[in-house]
Structure 1
Amino acid sequence: MSQEQKMYEMIGGEPVLRKVCQRFYEIMATLPEAKGILEMHPENLRGSEEKLFMFLSGWLGGPNLFQERFGHPRLRARHLPFSIGKSERDQWMLCMVMAFEDVGIQEPIRSELLHSLLNLADHMRNKPEA
């Protein structure tokens, strides 16, 4: 079993991952500090929540739900229509850190996943900044 497959299982599989994604969007919808990224989303966040769940499922080594439904994630290309800089990256990460905390993702998985997610979020940056 690969490390990625273990990670999906170690986090708790589908039920826990669904809770993380649900909590992530609840936080984004209510946290004033996340207003910038909330405005990039449709009013109804349910579709975005489901896409995040589907993507993270495959990314963590579980079922490749996103790829099966939409094809290769091409994350950077899919995010190009949005102006994403350090602030947006940090807002996204704040919501994810808080979701991990609220759902109870434990160390050492917590730090490892958050570090990988930070790298991923940083890769989405497309706004020139000084």
Structure 2
Amino acid sequence: MRRNPATVVVLAGHASEGLLAAVGRSMNVVLVRPDDSAEGLDAAAGALRRAAGISSPYVLVAADPLAAVAAEWRAMWEIPREPSRAAAGSEAFELRAAEALAAWRAGQFELPDYYLVLAKQAGP
């Protein structure tokens, strides 16, 4: 259990550099980006571990530990172009969910207080 006083918020979705730069200039908000050396769940877990040690009213983490789970969830419900993908969809989702759950149970990261889901901008 996280014991610092900060409210930790994960940005889920693609955050533009402009958005991250603006957040980085905000008072009472600390932006935590994932390390360039890691990716996926490892990158998000590392960012959340760093966020857990920050004393600030708000800590915004630009990495989602459940991103792969969400991606496989969406893919599972898409109509596949190849019949073989339909059977693999639920297996891939279950695998990503099990990986995230195992990492959380192993104490690699704590879930955030909130998620802020960023919607894709509609193109012209």
For the superposition of Structure 1 and Structure 2, which TM-score range results when normalised by the shorter chain? under 0.3
Give the number of the structure whose residues are more often strand, by fraction: 2
Using CA pairs below 8 Å that are at least 6 residues apart, which structure has the higher relative contact order? 2
Between structure 1 and structure 2, the one with the greater Rg is 2
Give the number of the structure whose residues are more often helix, by fraction: 1
Return the TM-score normalized by structure 2: 0.27
Return the TM-score normalized by structure 1: 0.26
